[in-house]
Amino acid sequence: MSLWEYANPRRFMAVSGRVLPWLGWLTGLTLAIGLIWGFFFTPDDYRQGSTVKIIYLHVPAAMIAINAWGMMLVASLVWLIRRHHVSALAARAAAPVGLTMTAIALATGAIWGQPMWGTWWVWDPRLTSFLILCLFYLGYIALWNAIEDTDTAADLTSILCLVGSVFAALSRYAVNFWNQGLHQGASLSMDAKENVSNVFYIPLLFAIAGFILLFLTLVLLRTRTEIRSRRLVALKLRERMAHA
Amino acid sequence: MPDLGKYAVEVLAAYGVTLVLLAGIVALSLYQARRSKRDLNRFEGHDDA
């Protein structure tokens, strides 16, 4: 079976309709395990005290905020190259979820930064590129809503997505590009020496898995909504032309 | 409830903001999904499901 079969809206609706309830339950379960374990059953850090519990929110949200834009980039490229409507609608569906994750990462980062760094905000490379990514999300959503013709909106937002990808990449690698600023390096890496301690690591993995599943669930749900809305617009247009 | 010590306000605020934002995007997505399904069904002349 080819992946492109899911570019057919009817096929996408049938498969996603079957998968969504299971995905929803799995998301709830994984998120609950990660957050309850992290909040109630992990010790304080010897330097950061109980603020270390914010890691179960901040790190997964930041990861999804960046990778959601990556998913939108792939979907936008599929739209630009192969003109599959479902991919353009999936990119549109992912944007509000990505924006929410970016807002969570910024808010929890500021709340965590205040007691640890002594300030809510600094114009650090990673924080600044994250703020710009947040503005790109807002611009992307506004552009979709500003243009009535779906194909034109998909074209223009896809180009905007390509440009914004620079800041999504910067958000991830800013710490490596510019070895300055208050924000530390990655909390998780392939190098085990750089990872957080195991006592925090396993619940963090559950929280990350929960956030990933939540993103997938919401994108599927919202893509179905976009497909239905697009069909409704097409049917209304057809009816109007039939009566003209 | 774990003892959050002197950082209780910060930790609870972080969890509060996150849960409110997550609940908001989930509620908005469900509301829009139900509305689009109802509108399409109504237009196509099906029963509202």
Looking at residue A106, its pLDDT comes to: 96
| Number of folded domains that form chain A | 1
Q: Is residue A37 part of a domain?
A: yes
Q: Is B31 on the interface with A (CB under 8 A)?
A: no
Q: Look up the pTM and report it.
A: 0.91
Q: Is residue A7 part of a domain?
A: no
- The DSSP result for A14-74, as a single string, is HHHHHHHHHHHHHHHHHHHHHHHHHHHSSPPBTTTBGGGGGHHHHHHHHHHHHHHHHHHHH
Q: Is A145 on the interface with B (CB under 8 A)?
A: no
Q: Is residue A2 part of a domain?
A: no
Residue A168: give the domain boundaries.
20-181+197-243
Q: Is residue A12 part of a domain?
A: no
Query: Which secondary structure element, helix H or strand E, spans residue B47, and what is its range?
Result: none
Distance CA A201, CA A41 (A): 13
Residues in chain B with CB shorter than 8 Å from the CB of A51 are 7, 10-11
pLDDT tens-digit map of A55-89: 999 999 999 999 999 999 999 999 999 999 999 99
* Nearest CA-CA distance, residue A50 and chain B, Å: 5
Q: Is residue A56 part of a domain?
A: yes
Q: Is A36 on the interface with B (CB under 8 A)?
A: no
Asked if this assembly's ipTM is beyond 0.95, the reply is no
CB spacing of A50 vs B8 below 8 angstroms? yes
| Reduced DSSP (H G I as helix, E B as strand, rest coil) percent helix, strand, coil of chain A, to 5 | 85, 0, 15
Residue A117 CB coordination number (10 Å)? 15
Q: Is A178 helix (H, G, I), strand (E, B) or coil?
A: coil
Q: Is residue A139 part of a domain?
A: yes
- The partner residue sitting opposite B11, judged by closest CB among A50, A61, A97, is A50
- Nearest-Cα residue of chain A relative to residue B42: A232
Q: Is residue A118 part of a domain?
A: yes
Burial class of A244 by CB neighbour count within 10 A (0 to 12, 13 to 18, 19+): exposed
Residue B6 CB coordination number (10 Å)? 10
CB spacing of A54 vs B28 below 8 angstroms? no
Burial class of A189 by CB neighbour count within 10 A (0 to 12, 13 to 18, 19+): exposed
* Nearest CA-CA distance, residue B32 and chain A, Å: 7
What number is the average pLDDT over the span B14-33?
A: 98
- Nearest-Cα residue of chain B relative to residue A32: B19
Distance CA A68, CA A71 (A): 5
Q: Two tokens at A31?
A: 């998120």
In this complex, how many residue pairs, one in chain A and one in chain B, have their CB atoms less than 8 Å apart? Answer: 90
Residues of chain A above pLDDT 70, percent: 89
pLDDT tens-digit map of A191-202: 555 567 778 899
Tokens 């009817």 -> residue: A10
CB–CB of A85/A6 below 8 Å?
A: no
- The partner residue sitting opposite A221, judged by closest CB among B3, B29, B44, is B29
Distance CA A73, CA A85 (A): 14
Amino acid at A58: H
* Nearest CA-CA distance, residue B47 and chain A, Å: 16
Tokens 């609608």 -> residue: A89
Q: Is residue A43 part of a domain?
A: yes
Q: Is A236 on the interface with B (CB under 8 A)?
A: yes
- Nearest-Cα residue of chain B relative to residue A217: B26
Chunked mean pLDDT (size 10), chain A, 244 residues:
74 95 98 96 90 96 96 96 94 98 97 92 88 95 94 95 87 67 61 70 96 98 96 90 84
